[in-house]
Amino acid sequence: MSDHSAVGVIRAKRDGAALTDDAIRWFIAAYTAGEVADEQASALLMAIVFRGLDPRELATWTDAMIRSGERLDLSPVPFPTVDKHSTGGVGDKISLPLCPLVAACGAAVPQLSGRGLGHTGGTLDKLESIAGFRVGLSGPEFIAQLSDIGAVICSAGADLAPADRKLYSLRDVTGTVESIPLIASSIMSKKIAEGTDALVLDVKVGDGAFMREIGMARELARTMVGLGTAHGVRTTALITDMETPLGRTAGNALEVRESLEVLAGGGPPDVVGLTVALAAEMLDLAGIDADPAAALADGRAMDRWRRMVRAQGGDPDAPLPVAPLVEEVRADRAGVVTAIAAMPVGMAAWRLGAGRARKEDPVSPGAGVVLRVASGDTVTAGQVLAELHADDGAHMEAGRAAFGGAVTLGDTAPAASGRVLERIVPA
Write the CATH number for 192: 3.40.1030.10
Residue 415 belongs to a domain: no
In a domain, 312, yes or no: yes
253 close to 129: Cβ distance less than 8 angstroms: yes
93 is catalytic: no
How big is the chain by its Cα radius of gyration, in Å? 22
| 261 located within any domain | yes
Average pLDDT (392-411) is 96
**Section 95-114 average pLDDT:** 96
Q: What is the pLDDT of residues 281-297, one digit of tens each?
A: 999 999 999 999 999 99
Q: What pLDDT does residue 134 have? A: 97
**Are 252 and 375 in a shared domain?**
no
Coil, strand or helix at 98 = helix
Q: What is the pLDDT of residues 201-257, one digit of tens each?
A: 999 999 999 899 999 999 999 999 999 999 999 999 999 999 999 999 999 999 999
Please name the residues in contact with 23: beta carbons below 8 A apart, sequence gap of 6 or more: 4, 8, 9, 12
Catalytic residue among 4, 85, 234, 389: 85
Q: What integer pLDDT is reported at residue 118 of this predicted model?
A: 64
Res. 88: pLDDT tops 80? yes
Domain membership of residue 123 (yes or no) is: yes
**301 and 342 share a domain?**
no
Angle of CA points 131, 308, 141, to nearest 5°: 100
HSE-up (13 A, CA, CB side) for residue 192? 29
Cα dihedral 126→128→111→249 (10° resolution): -10
Out of 228-237, 357-366, 387-396, which region has the weakest mean confidence (pLDDT)?
Answer: 357-366
Q: Are residues 116 and 224 in the same domain?
A: yes
Helices (H), 175-290: 180-193, 214-230, 252-263, 269-285
Which entry of 13, 25, 119, 171 is annotated as an active-site residue?
Answer: 171
Q: What is the DSSP letter of 96?
A: H
pLDDT band at 356 (very low <50, low <70, confident <90, very high): confident
Examine residue 283 and state whether it is found in any structural domain, yes or no: yes
Q: Do 266 and 312 belong to one domain? A: yes
Residue 147, pLDDT score: 98
Exposed, middle or buried, 358 (CB in 10 Å: 0-12/13-18/19+)?
A: exposed
pLDDT, mean of residues 346-366:
88
The answer to whether residues 214 and 363 belong to one domain is no
124 and 196, same domain (yes or no):
yes
Question: Among the three residues 300, 317, 334, which one is the final residue of a domain in this structure?
Answer: 317
2 pLDDT band (50/70/90 cuts)? low
Q: Where are the alpha helices (DSSP H) in 52-176?
A: 55-67, 95-104, 123-127, 139-148, 162-174
Q: Is residue 210 part of a domain?
A: yes
Do 100 and 46 reside in the same domain of the chain?
no
Where does a domain end: 282, 317, 352?
Answer: 317
Does pLDDT of 116 surpass 80?
Answer: no
Q: Based on the number of CB atoms within 10 Å of its own CB, is 117 exposed (0-12), middle (13-18) or buried (19 or more)?
A: middle
| Catalytic choice (179, 186, 259, 364) | 186
Closest CA to 123 of 132, 131, 114: 114
Give the per-residue pLDDT at 1. Answer: 45
Residue type, 154: C
Q: Is the pLDDT of residue 360 over 80?
A: no
User: 117-121, 233-237, 353-357 — which one is most confidently predicted on average?
Assistant: 233-237
Task: State the total domains in the chain.
Answer: 3
Distances from the Cα of 172 to the Cαs of 164, 169, 188, in angstroms? 12, 5, 18
> Domain with 31 in it: what CATH number?
1.20.970.10
Domain that includes residue 47, residue range: 6-52
83 catalytic? Reply is no
Q: Is residue 1 part of a domain?
A: no
Q: Is 137 in the same domain as 110?
A: yes
Give the 3-state secondary structure of residue 27: helix
Residues 307 and 404 in one domain: no
**Entry pTM:** 0.95
Establish how many alpha carbons lie within 13 A of residue 238's alpha carbon, considering only the half-sphere containing its beta carbon. Answer: 23
Q: Are residues 162 and 100 in the same domain?
A: yes
Label residue 358 by pLDDT band (50, 70, 90): confident
| φ/ψ (deg, to 5) at 371 | -85, 130
**Residues 374-381, mean pLDDT to the nearest whole number:** 96
Co-location of 20 and 93 in the same domain: no
Residue 329 lies in a domain: yes
Nearest to 199 by CA among 181, 214, 184: 184
Q: Tell me: the pLDDT tens digits for 28-83?
A: 999 999 999 999 999 999 999 999 999 999 999 999 999 999 999 999 999 999 99
Query: What is the predicted pLDDT for the residue at 44?
Result: 97
Of the candidates 93, 190, 218, 356, the residue annotated as catalytic is 190
Co-location of 168 and 233 in the same domain: yes
Q: What pLDDT score does 117 carry?
A: 64
Across all residues in the chain, what is the average pLDDT? 95
CATH number at residue 405: 3.90.1170.30
Mind listing the pLDDT tens digit for each residue in 131-166? 999 999 999 999 999 999 999 999 988 889 999 999
Contacts of 358 (CB under 8 A, 6+ apart): none
Known active-site residue 164: yes
Residue that is last in its domain, among 52, 73, 90: 52
